[in-house]
Amino acid sequence: MKKIEGKYKIVIVILVLYVGLMVVLFGPSIFRGKTKSYLLIGSSAKWQFKDNKWKDITSNEVDLYAWKDFDIFINRKKLGNYLVTYSEDQWYLFQKDRTPVNYEGDFLGIRSNQPYQVADFEKVDLEDSDMVYIEKVLEDHGLDKTQNYTDSYKVKMDLDHDEEDETIYTITNMFPDDFAPATLFNFVFVEDHGKIQMVDEMMDAFTNLYNQCKINLQHIIDVDGNGKYELILNCSYYSVQGTCTSMYEKQGSKYVRIKSCNS
C-alpha cells in the first residue's frame, strides 16, 4: 500500500511541475481556451489574433466587428462597451438599442475572451538627466549629439510588472518647419536599469523626407495575458499618405515587431 501511495505522490508532483512549466512558457491563457482577440486602432488598423499571431481583419471579414460589442477607450480612458460600425474612415458607436454615442479623441476598441490591460500614461518633456540616454543613441548611430527635434518625450511605465518603472523615449526630427537636418530619424527605445533596448528606428536622407513617416507612441496594452505590455506605435506619413501602425513585444532582452501595417 505504501508503494502505491508513493507512486501517486510522484505522479502528482510531475503533474504540478508540468502545469507550472506550461504557465511559465505559455502564460495562464493556456487554460482559458483558444484566444480570440480583436483590436480596432483609430482608422489605421483592424487586427485579429488568429493562429497564434496578429493578422489584419480583411475586407471580407467585416462581420468580425460590424455591429459587435467592443470595449471602447478614448484617449486611453475607458468610455464603455458599445456596438461599433465603420464607414468612410470613421468609427461609429451605438448603445445596445442602437442609440448613437458621440465621442472625440484617440479611438481604441478591444474585444477579447481573455483578460487584458490598457495602460493610461502621460507623455512628459525630456529633462537634463535623460540626455545621457538620448546622446548615447545618437552617438551609436553616428549622429551629432546636438540635434533639433520635432517631437521628443518620455513615458515612465512598469512594462514587465516587476514593480520598477522603465522609461520609453521617443525622439524624431521628421517634418521640420524651420530647419533642414542632413539626416532624418525616428527612435523609440526603452531604458531599463540603465540599459537601452531599441524598439524602432529609422534613418534616411533629408531628400527622402516625403517618403518617410513620423513616429509616435500610441498605446501600451497587454492583450495576450502574459503580464507584459505590448507597445503600439503609429508612424504618420506626409499629407494623405496614411499611417502605419505596428505592435512590439519584448522577447528576451529585445523588442520585436509582431504586427505591422505591411504584414
Q: Supply 37's cell numbers.
A: 482577440
Bridge-based pairing state of the strands 213-222 and 195-205: unpaired
Q: What is the largest CA-CA distance in the chain?
A: 86
The CATH architecture assigned to 128-259 reads: Beta Barrel (2.40)
d(CA 198, CA 224): 22
Assess contact for 83 and 95: CB atoms under 8 A: yes
* 34 grid coordinates: 483558444
Q: What pTM, to 2 d.p., does this model score?
A: 0.85
Give the domain ranges of the chain.
Answer: 2-31, 37-114, 128-259
What pLDDT tens digit does each residue of the chain (263 aa) get?
555 555 555 655 455 555 445 444 444 444 444 778 999 999 999 999 988 889 999 999 999 999 999 999 999 999 999 999 999 999 999 999 999 999 999 999 999 998 999 999 999 999 999 999 999 999 999 999 999 999 999 999 999 888 999 999 999 999 999 999 999 999 999 999 999 999 999 999 999 999 999 999 999 999 877 778 999 999 999 877 889 999 999 999 899 999 998 76
